[in-house]
Structure 1
Amino acid sequence: MRQTILAVLSLSAMAALLTGCGGDMVLLNSKGPVAQGQSDLMMTAIYLMLLVVIPSAIMALWFGWKYRASNKDADYKPTWAHSTAIEIVVWGIPVIIIGILAWLTWWGSHKYDPYRPVESDKAPLTVQVIAEQFKWIFIYPEQNIATVNEMRFPEKTPVTLRLTSNFTMNSFFIPALSGQIYAMAGMQTHLNFLADETSPAEGYRGFSSNYSGYGFSQMRFRAHSVTDAQFAEWVAAVKSGNGASVNPNAVQKAVLDQTEFAALRDGNRSKHQIEAMVVNAQTPEEKAAAEALKPYPTKPHPVTYYSSVEPKLFESVINRYMSNYHGADHSATAGHEAAASDAHANVEHATAASVEE
């Protein structure tokens, strides 16, 4: 009993340290309708489940106290075997709760489908996202600019993301604004969200929530929700090669083309892997090859701005992994894939709308 009490107190103290003393409660303090809806859905499910957990915990303590050996007034029924009332309660209430949870899950999966566009009077901002080797690349096709490890967008404006990966599968996540969604090589996924207000100066946290290797912890970026005027100013500054005037810590470059894109992949192995390869090399050639490898970065790639982007760079990344079409000309299929993807999003939207009706 003493060990149980100590364990409960330890967990309580840890929870207090993680939440009350500077912990990040962003999942319960969302800044957009999508994340807020998902947060409300999660809390509703927790409250429903507590309808079983709390009474069970109370009864476990009460029964132990009431029927203790020293309580001579408690009823003693050694032949008791069945109670219809108890059976109805212990089976009926959980069945009802599970039924409500099932309905909430079905409704929420349509209402907060990541492919479903956010309803707004404003036209959405489209951003193409590429999960590169331990960094995030954001391409703005309408503005013809690109960034690394930073995303900016106007407040109260729907943002439509098109995501893919140029290496292993990853998971894109901005907890304050939306749920996570996977980015996979050779595929395109969608994510829609909206920010209700401008972000703090440091922006909202964004990161990869799917382990992808030694540099996984460096896949962090900042998402800045700004006013329409600030967004226009930032776009103009980046296009003119003066993005550092908005973010002094950013690196400004000219064109994000295939050559520059390939150069963004830095590192071949972890530092420990390279050291092991050097030690285990059997020949001078193997040792030289191992020593020539570059280690994965130990800190996030610096924020980088590009004043222009090579056309169809995003589509070329997807087509690179289309194994069924090696050697084919994908220029015609890129548009078809984008149209098919948009059509799928429209179908999902229509389905969700019909569900609500």
Structure 2
Amino acid sequence: MRQTILAVLSLSTLAALLTGCGGDIVLLNSKGPVASGQSDLMMKAIYLMLLVVIPSVIMALWFGWKYRASNKDADYKPTWAHSTAIEIVVWGIPCIIIAILAYLTWWGSHQYDPYRPLTNAQGEMEDHLKIQAVAEQFKWVFIYPEQQIATINEVRFPVNKPIEFQITSNFTMNSFFIPKLAGQVYAMAGMQTKLHMLADQPSPAEGYRGFSANYSGYGFTQMRFRAHAVSDADFNTWVEAVKAGKGTSINPEAVQKTVLDQAEFATLKDGDRSKHQIEAMVNNAHTPEEIALAHEAERKGPFPTKPHVVTYYSSVEPDLFKRIINTYMSNYHGADHAAAGHASVEHTAAVGE
């Protein structure tokens, strides 16, 4: 009995620690319709499965108590082999629960499809704010194509405004995740994925937590950003401040820069080796290839040990997001898309002449 009590207390303590000692359980405390719907689906699935788990646990304890060796009143049936009623219960109830879970999974997969645009209460599609998210090494770059601004490790959007994230990666596969607002969606080089979401109430001053949910190298733990859901007026004020080069008036801890073009974007890539690894590469480099790799590692520097500082860009090179994707698609099926683009421009100019 003492061991049982200690085991129960240990499990209870572990559960309290895992939930932050009664703190915020982010996946069950959503702030948007998408995350809220996903949380409801998860809890419904848990409740349905508990219909089997709880009775099974109770019966296991009850059977052990009833048929204990010291209970001489318990029925002793050594030749018992079959019960139709038990078979119906044991197989019928789980089959019904599995059927309900299958329906909920099918319905939820379509209802909360990240590619499905959000609609209002009347089922009408509303205007979406488009934000392009790029998983860089090791940070998140956000481009606002309509506002022509960009940010690093911070994203802002209006409350009750449907958001359409267009997501890609400029190195290995990552996963874009804001637990309070929506599920995770993968970011892959040379591809574009989408995520539709909405915040139905303003975020706290520090914003909602966002991060990479997929291991992508030593520095991936620093791929954290803040998502701020603000009023329309505050969002417009922030956009104008960033475009005017005064973004630090909204966030004093940020860094304000001018234009995010391909040259600036190329400087954002962090190193993916530790300081000791780089030193070893330099000391052991003998062939021209090894020396070149060592110099490249020195230029990039070691992987980051803290997130990149929030940075604002007052303008963005047109179609930068498409250019990032096409970098990995230039030789797809043997076609050089960049060269084809230049040829198309030259051809148009020739026709105009």
- The normalised TM-score by structure 1 is 0.88
Alignment-mate amino acid for residue 196 of structure 2? N
How far apart are the structure 2 equivalents of 1:210 and 1:20?
A: 22
How far apart are the structure 2 equivalents of 1:24 and 1:149?
A: 23
Does structure 1 conserve the Cα–Cα contact (< 8 Å) formed by 2:282 and 2:291?
yes
**Mapped pair 1:209 → 2:213:** yes
Secondary structure of the corresponding residue to residue 337 of structure 2:
coil
How far apart are the structure 2 equivalents of 1:95 and 1:263?
A: 57
Give the drift of 1:41. 0.3
Q: Which runs of 5+ in 2 are unaligned?
A: 343-353
> 1:241-293 CA deviation, whole Å, 9 max, x = no partner?
000000000000000001100001122423343244356x1649857936835
How far apart are the structure 1 equivalents of 2:225 and 2:313?
A: 16
How far apart are the structure 1 equivalents of 2:134 and 2:162?
A: 19
Alignment-mate amino acid for residue 148 of structure 1? I
Question: Where does residue 141 of structure 1 map in the other structure?
Answer: 145
> 1:285-311 CA deviation, whole Å, 9 max, x = no partner?
857936835101110000000000000
How far apart are the structure 2 equivalents of 1:282 and 1:43?
A: 56
How far apart are the structure 2 equivalents of 1:186 and 1:20?
A: 39
How far apart are the structure 1 equivalents of 2:179 and 2:282?
A: 41
Assess, with a 3 A threshold, how the Cα gap between structure 1 residues 50 and 233 changes in structure 2: closer, same or farther. Answer: same
Assess, with a 3 A threshold, how the Cα gap between structure 1 residues 265 and 4 changes in structure 2: closer, same or farther. Answer: farther
Does structure 1 conserve the Cα–Cα contact (< 8 Å) formed by 2:242 and 2:312?
yes
Assess, with a 3 A threshold, how the Cα gap between structure 1 residues 31 and 321 changes in structure 2: closer, same or farther. Answer: same
Q: How does 1:101-250 map to 2 (within 5 A)?
A: 101-120=101-120, 122-250=126-254
Alignment-mate amino acid for residue 39 of structure 2? S
> 1:2-61 CA deviation, whole Å, 9 max, x = no partner?
666544432320111232526440110100000000000000000000000000000000
Question: Where does residue 97 of structure 1 map in the other structure?
Answer: 97
Give the drift of 1:123. 1.5
- Structure 2 residue corresponding to 1:266, chosen from 267, 270, 275: 270
Alignment-mate amino acid for residue 232 of structure 1? N
How far apart are the structure 1 equivalents of 2:174 and 2:287?
A: 37
Does structure 2 conserve the Cα–Cα contact (< 8 Å) formed by 1:172 and 1:183?
yes
Question: Where does residue 298 of structure 2 map in the other structure?
Answer: 292
How far apart are the structure 2 equivalents of 1:112 and 1:67?
A: 49
How far apart are the structure 2 equivalents of 1:206 and 1:22?
A: 21
Alignment-mate amino acid for residue 163 of structure 1? I
Assess, with a 3 A threshold, how the Cα gap between structure 1 residues 328 and 20 changes in structure 2: closer, same or farther. Answer: closer
**Mapped pair 1:310 → 2:317:** yes
Runs of 4+ in structure 1 deviating by more than 4 angstroms, as ranges, are 1-5, 284-288
How far apart are the structure 1 equivalents of 2:221 and 2:242?
A: 28
**Bigger Cα displacement from structure 2, 130-139 vs 15-24:** 15-24
Assess, with a 3 A threshold, how the Cα gap between structure 1 residues 165 and 20 changes in structure 2: closer, same or farther. Answer: closer
Secondary structure of the corresponding residue to residue 99 of structure 1:
helix
Question: Where does residue 347 of structure 2 map in the other structure?
Answer: none
Percent of pairs with identical residues: 73
How far apart are the structure 2 equivalents of 1:317 and 1:198?
A: 32
How far apart are the structure 1 equivalents of 2:272 and 2:14?
A: 38
Assess, with a 3 A threshold, how the Cα gap between structure 1 residues 252 and 20 changes in structure 2: closer, same or farther. Answer: closer
Question: Where does residue 18 of structure 1 map in the other structure?
Answer: 18
Give the drift of 1:232. 0.3
Does structure 2 conserve the Cα–Cα contact (< 8 Å) formed by 1:32 and 1:193?
yes
Secondary structure of the corresponding residue to residue 69 of structure 1:
coil
How far apart are the structure 2 equivalents of 1:15 and 1:119?
A: 38
> 1:144-192 CA deviation, whole Å, 9 max, x = no partner?
0000000000000000010000000000000000000001000000100
Secondary structure of the corresponding residue to residue 204 of structure 2:
coil
Give the drift of 1:217. 0.3
Alignment-mate amino acid for residue 258 of structure 1? Q
> 1:209-257 CA deviation, whole Å, 9 max, x = no partner?
0000100100000000000000000000000000000000000000000
Does structure 1 conserve the Cα–Cα contact (< 8 Å) formed by 2:278 and 2:298?
no
Assess, with a 3 A threshold, how the Cα gap between structure 1 residues 29 and 331 changes in structure 2: closer, same or farther. Answer: farther
Secondary structure of the corresponding residue to residue 292 of structure 1:
helix
How far apart are the structure 1 equivalents of 2:287 and 2:107?
A: 63
How far apart are the structure 2 equivalents of 1:306 and 1:190?
A: 23
Assess, with a 3 A threshold, how the Cα gap between structure 1 residues 76 and 41 changes in structure 2: closer, same or farther. Answer: same
CA RMSD of aligned residues (A): 2.1
How far apart are the structure 2 equivalents of 1:317 and 1:11?
A: 48
> 1:52-98 CA deviation, whole Å, 9 max, x = no partner?
00000000000000000000000010110000000000000000000
- The normalised TM-score by structure 2 is 0.89
Does structure 2 conserve the Cα–Cα contact (< 8 Å) formed by 1:241 and 1:307?
yes
How far apart are the structure 2 equivalents of 1:110 and 1:328?
A: 34
Question: Where does residue 328 of structure 2 map in the other structure?
Answer: 321
Assess, with a 3 A threshold, how the Cα gap between structure 1 residues 20 and 313 changes in structure 2: closer, same or farther. Answer: closer
